[in-house]
């Protein structure tokens, strides 16, 4: 399945757990769109949700913002 097909989904759910995923999560969520990080295309989807543990979220520069946005529902959080 390619990135284009994934972006056609009605909803996207990214699950990442553990410190070994922290760099990939940071590049996917906060990095620039890049062919070197195919997951960065998830930033273009209007209904993408990331579920991360503390370790996977540890390299997010805007971690507090992302937490606040998801708590307020701003980030498109809804029941799946």
Residue extents of the structural domains in the chain: 3-72
pLDDT reading at 51 higher than 80: yes
Contacts 24+ apart (CB under 8 A), 71-78: 75/49, 76/46, 76/47, 76/48, 76/49, 77/49
pLDDT reading at 76 higher than 90: no
Condensed to tens digits (0 to 9), the pLDDT of residues 62-75 reads: 776 666 666 655 44
Half-sphere exposure of 35 (CA within 13 A, CB side): 0
Averaged pLDDT for residues 28-46: 94
Least confident of 19-23, 41-45, 68-72: 68-72
């Amino acid at each position: 399945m390619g990135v284009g097909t994934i972006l056609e989904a009605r909803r996207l759910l990214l699950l990442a757990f553990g410190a070994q995923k922290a760099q990939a999560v940071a590049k996917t969520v906060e990095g620039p769109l890049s062919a070197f990080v195919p997951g960065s295309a998830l930033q273009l989807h209007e209904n993408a949700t990331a579920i991360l543990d503390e370790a996977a979220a540890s390299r997010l520069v805007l971690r507090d913002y992302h937490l606040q946005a998801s708590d307020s529902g701003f980030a498109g959080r809804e029941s799946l």
